[in-house]
Amino acid sequence: MVAGVLVEITNKNVDRIFEYNVPSTLEENVKIGVRVLVPFGKMMLEGFVCTLSDKKETDKELKEVDSIIDTDIVLNDELLNLGKWMQKETVASLMSCYQVMLPKALKAKNGSVVSIRYDTYYKLKNDSIMSEQFSGKQKEIVLLLKEKGLVLRKELFDISSSSLNTLLKHGVLEKIEKEHYRVSYESGKIEKKELTTMQKEAVDAVINSSPKTFLLHGVTGSGKTEVYMEIIDYYLKLGKKSIVLVPEISLTPQMVDRFRRRFGDKIAALHSALSDGEKYDEWRRICRGEASIVIGARSAIFAPLDDIGIIIIDEEHSDSYKQSDPSPRYHARDVAIYRAKTHNCSVVLGSATPSLESMARVQKRVYEYLSLPERINGKSLPEVTIIDMNNAMKKSRGHFSNELISAIDDRLQKKEQVILLLNRRGYSSFVMCKNCGYTFKCPNCDITLTYHKTSNTLRCHYCGYGDKEPSICPSCGEKSLNNLGVGTEKIEEELQKLFPSSKILRMDYDTTSRKGMHEEMISKFKNHEYDILLGTQMVAKGLDFSLVTLVGVINADTSLNIPDFRSSENTFSLLSQVAGRSGRAEKIGSVVIQTYNPDHYSISYVKNHNYFGFYKREMEIRKQLKYPPYYYLCNLRVCGKNQEYLLGEALKIKRSLERNLDSVMILGPSVGNTFKINNTYHYNIILKYKNKDVLYDIFEKIIEHYKTNIKIKIDIDFNPSQIL
């Protein structure tokens, strides 16, 4: 038997199948989709078996498979085919496409061994055994087992191992090892809410339709999650399975909790907040058919489910569904639609602020439109007040206008809660010497360092470089350093001075990096252990707190000032989403947005909750500038350590593209927003196109030309979420 093996190296140089003889001792267990250990040059490498044949296709003498790593199949037929599709669509190596699908414990060369945990149980070998035959501890054990049948070892905490071993030795007891999953879900307490007429119409439209992609456009608080669960319940009763994607790890605990209460241990979770062992257990539960509903972030789209009935992507507009780095640079929405075709099922994309691309596909009748225009409690959306900080700064205290301070004080007196958004972590955006103008920059990246006061460090948010803040300027030697800009740490400090008796919870990457902190913070705020929740964009989506009646945005211009064509869309979406956290229960909510650009259309349309007004205005601009969804974009990024050499090669690549692509607009090469990242320079060549197929051949030739050149790296990103 000959096995075709794809080895663990993701480099394009070895991106092909290599043949190996399968020893007769391994033939029974070598299957397509398992991992094996094979000799490769002077190395021993792991790889996936992709083909099996009775004869080899080469005249060369073949080496033998050394050993089998897995007893179970790691990549089923569907995932193997999905990887080949991703390889073509993203111009990535096949191995990188397979590796991105798997939890760390199942990747080729995973670098760590994740063990399977077991619980030890004891039972009587024969129920007719009489306890009178024994005395002391042995009699106590027999009586307990006669009563309970099967007992966990830790329940016998006061019983010595010697007593148990004696009964085992004499054939009285039987020892049973059962696998112990690191994540457990309690049985569901059916929490099925009565749907509104509009919710029922949305559910019926999905379950009574032939397979297609739906866009569920529902305002914040309209009950999209209940619609998701009702659709899933329908397919669950038909014996079909479901995938639910959420954009932020912070949303996963709340979503998992809601689904657990409805579906119990039928759910499994896959997201980066789980440990390697927990992901390994969840993956194996899914493979074994023990979970029918998978909930998680982007990579959960690869869950190895068979017979999928529905795929749901919540907050479909979020750019976190696009993997920007490393390769393969896929979008979970595209993978979902491809898998849906394989399973002949529908996809539901849900959002209060759908992406322009998705709404454009509705208008072209590629997607079917579903609407939930009202909140389920009949309440109106919160009133939004825009504060012009150009005027308010003269009377403000720190970064808070008098209007926002007054609104916060009012809610605190009423024992209600407040959410505040500032989409920038740290204490200050940068540190500058007011004597000579020197600014502290990362030595590895073309970016200023952010000051974090709690750790007294200057840190790069790109490569992770950090250093203690000096007391004097390294350029002029003066003690004249000044913290400029603002981050969540500084706002927290100002809040504590403005409202000393209030309890403030800061939620950003720095405070949630420890395992379980997202869930712990959300739970504490929900239980009103804190009055004010301050955070970055992770507080803007999906969270549902009944006592939150005020949302404040400290600086609405943070995302607006990013030099990217999506900045207006991202600003509108972020502000609309965070505004939707207010007034979701019985009490009326309000929103205060502070900005230096009060007349910008992305902000003024938020004031009136006018999605379609924003959509029409933004689409006009996109059409004029030939941006998506009127044109597709591709960023061909040329990376390397030698700036001069890199520019020369980037210009050669552009000329090659121009010779081969008549119908494509080619811009650049230009420096990225952050030119140097981790001591690597980046030049962007932007392509605007209508037909993706014309790009593949020339891209493959460029990659082939440079694949052995260690001075240069070519990255290709179709439809980038942002151009760095």
Cα–Cα distance measured from residue 386 to residue 400, given in angstroms and rounded to the nearest whole number: 13
Calculate mean pLDDT across residues 111-127: 82
Most confident range (mean pLDDT) of 115-129, 364-378, 455-469 is 364-378
> Which CATH number does the domain 632-718 belong to among 3.40.50.2300, 3.40.50.720, 3.30.420.40, 3.30.70.600?
3.30.70.600
Q: Let me know: does 558 contact 424? Beta carbons within 8 Å.
A: yes
561: number of Cβ within 10 Å: 12
111: pLDDT confidence band, cut at 50, 70 and 90? low
pLDDT in tens, 219-229: 999 999 999 99
pLDDT in tens, 665-690: 999 999 877 788 888 999 999 999 99
User: Which fold would CATH assign to domain 201-276+289-370?
Assistant: Rossmann fold (3.40.50)
In order of 18, 44, 286, 710, the CA distances from 41 in angstroms are 12, 8, 36, 20
Cα–Cα distance measured from residue 354 to residue 367, given in angstroms and rounded to the nearest whole number: 12
φ and ψ of 174, to 5 deg: -120, 130
pLDDT attached to residue 443: 86
Calculate mean pLDDT across residues 646-661: 96
In what order do the strands lie in the sheet containing 267-270? 267-270, 293-296, 241-245, 308-314, 346-351, 213-218, 368-372
Written out in words, the top-level CATH class of the domain with range 2-106 is: alpha beta
pLDDT in tens, 709-721: 999 999 999 999 8
Tokens of 580: 């939707």
pLDDT in tens, 166-185: 889 888 899 999 888 888 88
φ and ψ of 250, to 5 deg: -65, -25
User: How far out from the chain centre does Cα 511 lie?
Assistant: 18
User: How far out from the chain centre does Cα 87 lie?
Assistant: 21
pLDDT at 113 over 70: no
What pTM value is reported for the model? 0.90
Cα–Cα distance measured from residue 343 to residue 307, given in angstroms and rounded to the nearest whole number: 6
pLDDT in tens, 476-531: 888 888 777 788 999 999 999 999 999 999 998 888 888 888 888 999 999 999 99
Rg of the chain's alpha carbons, rounded to an integer?
A: 29
Written out in words, the top-level CATH class of the domain with range 383-425+500-621 is: alpha beta
- Sole residue written with tokens 């809040």: 495
- Higher pLDDT among residues 144 and 201, named by residue: 201
User: How far out from the chain centre does Cα 34 lie?
Assistant: 27
- Higher pLDDT among residues 626 and 395, named by residue: 626
In what order do the strands lie in the sheet containing 35-40? 18-21, 2-7, 43-53, 35-40, 67-68
pLDDT at 332 over 90: yes
pLDDT at 327 over 70: yes
- Sole residue written with tokens 């112990």: 180
pLDDT at 112 over 70: no
Cα–Cα distance measured from residue 576 to residue 646, given in angstroms and rounded to the nearest whole number: 42
Helix pair angle (332-343, 77-90), 10° resolution: 140
- Higher pLDDT among residues 364 and 447, named by residue: 364
pLDDT in tens, 391-441: 888 888 889 999 999 999 999 999 999 999 998 877 667 788 888 888 888
Burial of 301 (C-beta count, 10 Å sphere; 0-12/13-18/19+): buried
**Residues 21-50 as b or e (16 or more Cβ within 10 Å = b):** ebeeebeeebbbbbbbbbebeeeebbbbbb
pLDDT attached to residue 53: 92
Cα–Cα distance measured from residue 518 to residue 507, given in angstroms and rounded to the nearest whole number: 8
- Give the number of C-alpha atoms closer than 13 A to the C-alpha of residue 96, restricted to the C-beta side: 21
Q: Let me know: does 396 contact 402? Beta carbons within 8 Å.
A: yes
Calculate mean pLDDT across residues 234-247: 96
Least Cα distance to 313 among 281, 291, 292, 339 occurs for 339
pLDDT attached to residue 196: 94
pLDDT in tens, 131-165: 777 878 888 888 888 888 888 988 887 888 888 88
pLDDT attached to residue 453: 79
- Sole residue written with tokens 């502070």: 594
pLDDT attached to residue 447: 80
pLDDT attached to residue 190: 66
Q: How much is the mean pLDDT over the chain?
A: 91
φ and ψ of 658, to 5 deg: -65, -35
Calculate mean pLDDT across residues 17-46: 94
Q: Let me know: does 340 contact 305? Beta carbons within 8 Å.
A: no
- Higher pLDDT among residues 249 and 146, named by residue: 146
Helix, coil or strand: residue 2: strand
DSSP classification of residue 190: -
Calculate mean pLDDT across residues 259-280: 90
pLDDT at 189 over 70: no
User: What residue type is 147 in one-letter code?
Assistant: E
